[in-house]
Amino acid sequence: MPDSLGARTTGHPLGVTALQRKPGNQVAHLSPADIDAIGRELDDLRQSVIDSRGQRDSTYIRRVIRAQRLCEVSGRALLLGSRFTPAWVLGTGFLAVSKALDNMEIGHNVLHGQWDWMNDPEIHSTTWDWDHASPPAQWKRAHNVQHHTYTNILGKDNDLGYGIMRVDEDQPWKPRYLVQPLWNFVNACIFEYGIAMYDIEFGEHLRQKRGVTPELRSRVKQAATKFARQAGKDYVIFPLLSGRSWRRTLAANVTANLARNLWSHSVIMCGHFPEGVETFEQKALDERETKAEWYLRQMLGSANISGSRAMHLMSGNLSHQIEHHIFPDLPSNRYYEIAPKIRDLFERYGLTYHAAPLPKQVASAWHKVVRLSLPNGWLEETTLRTAPRRIAGLFRRATRNDGAPGADDLRLEEPREVPRPDTQGLEREDTRVA
């Protein structure tokens, strides 16, 4: 995060973004002075939370940790008798809840350093380990540093599509993107291992033709050790402890991990991928980007999920993704409190506060995955009558190495400029708790 707060006095006020080419540029009306004022207001809000941290915050996180451990112990104990269906269902449910709490509200936020101010060595970003395949040190480097620094910058933020999906209309379409809906679903099912592979940056080494460096070997070794420990715990040790019902306990652990993976993938995808959330272009982070401009990029590149307090808890308060990206190191229980002030700031400066219920955000994110797996405008221009011919044309394009349309395809498609989906209604969603 840049230390400087003063906005630039020349050029576009948010020089890193591709918003200038969009039909509705929501930052065009902001002056450097406006951005500077936004930055000062957010700094003051952050400091007010820091100054008020105390006993109620530490009590909150300790209660959540106790609840998570109670869920895990209860689930494991019930699964010792997993040959009985009620015990299997309850045990699997407790275990899935335990894993979700461990990864989302506890692990993610502790590793962000949100609770380091307590100076408790047992609840600290430097000592915490979690029920997840990614080693904490690798996750912190990839997530806290890379993702939160380069949020939604194409080619720099690998959390944006995890380096395997097309995430913006300005990215050239290639035939391989046709399978990205399937790949996104597979990634959701194995999400903890997908994150761990991403944290290794194996694909980045291959793309940069760096080969197998000593650094990569070290990361692979650390990840393999964590993989083995996770798999051994869930798929060997606890099933064996169940004796004759080991198969049902094994199935319960697989089910709990699958539920945790699908849940965490859905929550995280809703944070940056719904229609209308901005993406940015920048080959390298502009050293002149001010702290206020960094704040603005987080505000435009994130989206919230509205819902109950229970939903916020189970999502790790990443349902307040906007607030989290503005203040990643503040205690997660405070995001709910400051959200109305952040929303008011958006409204006063004419910015879109993207918030909607979970089903709507998930549907929007998946719609974008499918839409961008196809050439620009393909879905919008396809009707039931034209679908057979356009699908045939799409397959012809897929057989060409460059994916470019041929003369026959162009005659079938009658290309035209297609506006981006209307997302103006999102900011009107009610984010009050149920």
pLDDT per residue over 15-34, tens digit each? 444 444 556 677 888 999 99
The whole-angstrom separation of Cα 372 and Cα 180 is 9
Q: How many CA atoms lie within 13 A of 6 on its CB side?
A: 3
pLDDT per residue as tens digits for the range 114-171: 999 999 999 999 999 999 999 999 999 999 998 998 888 877 777 776 667 888 888 8
- As a whole number of angstroms, the distance between CA 190 and CA 162 comes to 13
* pLDDT at residue number 391: 80
3-state secondary structure of 5: coil
Phi, psi of 414 (to 5 degrees): 45, 65
Question: Alpha-carbon distance 114 to 11, whole Å?
Answer: 35
CA 305 to CA 315: how far, in whole Å?
9
Structure tokens at 411: 């005659």
Distance CA 363, CA 65 (A): 32
- Residue 356 pairs in a beta bridge with 305
- Return the amino acid letter for 284: A
- Worst-scoring range by mean pLDDT, 141-155, 182-196, 279-293, 347-361? 279-293
Residue 407 has pLDDT above 70, yes or no: no
**164 phi, psi to nearest 5 deg:** -125, -5
CA distances from 253 to 172, 244, 306, 392 (A): 41, 16, 30, 43
pLDDT band, very low/low/confident/very high, at 109 (cuts 50, 70, 90): very high
Domain edges within the chain = 1-376+418-434
Burial class (CB in 10 A: 0-12, 13-18, 19+), 149: middle
What mean pLDDT is predicted for residues 330-354? 96
Is the pLDDT assigned to residue 416 strictly greater than 50? Answer: no
